[in-house]
Amino acid sequence: MESTPYIQTDLPSNQSVLQQKLQTKLDYLTSIQSAVVAGDDRQIYELLDSQKYDLKVRQKSETETNRPLAVLVDDMKDELSHHLGQKLINYLSETFPFFYYEETQLGVFQLYFGNWWDRRHFGILDPLAVKFIFNDDEYEKLEKAVELSAHGQRYNSQVIEDTTRANETLQKVVDEQNQRDAERTQLLAQLSSSEERGGLFGNRGQSEQREVLKERLKQLDSADAKSQKVPALIAENNTQILNYSKEDTILIYEQRAITDTFGTFDEFQQAVGSLYENYVGSLAAAAEEGGV
């Protein structure tokens, strides 16, 4: 019996396509390496995100993303962040002189506001994105302080006023001690007299009067007990007032630092929002002039 031949699988070669894709990846990594060696941070930013670079620096919006290539260096972002952070922080020391940075781990830069005591931790600096990532609560506090200062108020004015008023109320409880003592003496005398007159067969009116006297004595005892706690409460409130006042002072320092550098808070916000294009654009301008 004659055997039927099996059909053979015929696969076309894709070696040229594969080789081209591999070469593209190798070229990308070589370009990154060359830029790092040359200290050409501008090229690194373009290689990390060509679409963002073209949009922000060249004002071109039709560039396709190079993310498929950029993923090749995702596992070395910490090293790249540290590398890029060096020149970036030098630049920021001139443009945002009131910010201070601390690299708490490789490529991670904590952001602080000011060189004064109790300076605030204000967020982090992301050198890869050339971006400040502010702590929302701290930034909103500064923003609110700026808004209030336009009306001659401080951030903690109201809470300081309320706490001060609370202290005045507490102090009044202490100041009225002699008055309470005199009233207690009088009430006890009235109660004793009422009980002597009423005896076992006191009328209903006398009984109700004694209950009123006893209730008032309870109120005086409660006020006395509260007065014992007043010094500690006032001390606690004074500590809070001091902390609020310190915070207001820090916020004033921050606002003054911003206005001394930028003129207005709005100008500061604009500078923050355009940090990438301003910084990377300055690198591109320096490259065109023959620098790196």
* pLDDT the model gives residue 51: 96
Residue of 166, 167, 153, 151 whose CA lies nearest to 248:
153
Predicted confidence at residue 63, as pLDDT, reads 86
Calculate what percentage of the chain has a pLDDT beyond 70: 89
What are the residue ranges of helices labelled H in 39-156? Answer: 41-48, 50-56, 67-70, 77-95, 136-149
Closest CA to 166 of 243, 249, 235, 245: 235
Q: List, for residues 9-63, the tens digit of each pLDDT value.
A: 888 888 999 999 999 999 999 999 999 999 999 999 999 999 999 999 999 988 8
pLDDT at residue 73, rounded to an integer: 97
Residue type, 187: L
> What is the distance of C-alpha 278 from the center of its chain?
24
Residue type, position 251, single letter: L
**pLDDT, average across residues 136-141:** 97
Name beta bridge partners: 134: 123
Measured CA to CA, the distance from residue 145 to residue 153 in angstroms comes to 8
CA angle 47, 51, 53 (to 5 degrees): 65
pLDDT confidence of residue 205: 64
The pLDDT of residue 200: 45
Higher pLDDT, 143 or 184: 143
Q: Distance between the two ends of the chain, CA-based, in angstroms?
A: 80
Choose among 241, 250, 251, 247: nearest CA to 145: 251
Structure-model confidence comparison of residues 107 and 173, the more confident one: 107
Burial class (CB in 10 A: 0-12, 13-18, 19+), 161: exposed
Contact 176, 184 (CB under 8 A): no
Q: Which residue has the tokens 């006032």?
A: 234
Write out the two tokens for 290.
């023959």
The per-residue pLDDT of the chain, averaged, comes to: 89
pLDDT-wise least confident of 101-105, 182-186, 237-241, 249-253: 182-186
Indicate the residue type of 189. A
- Binned at pLDDT 50, 70 and 90, residue 209 comes out as confident
How many other C-beta atoms can be found within 10 angstroms of the C-beta atom of residue 229? Answer: 11
Contact indicator for 275, 130 with CB cutoff of 8 Å: yes
Q: What is the mean pLDDT of residues 85-113?
A: 97
SS3 234: helix
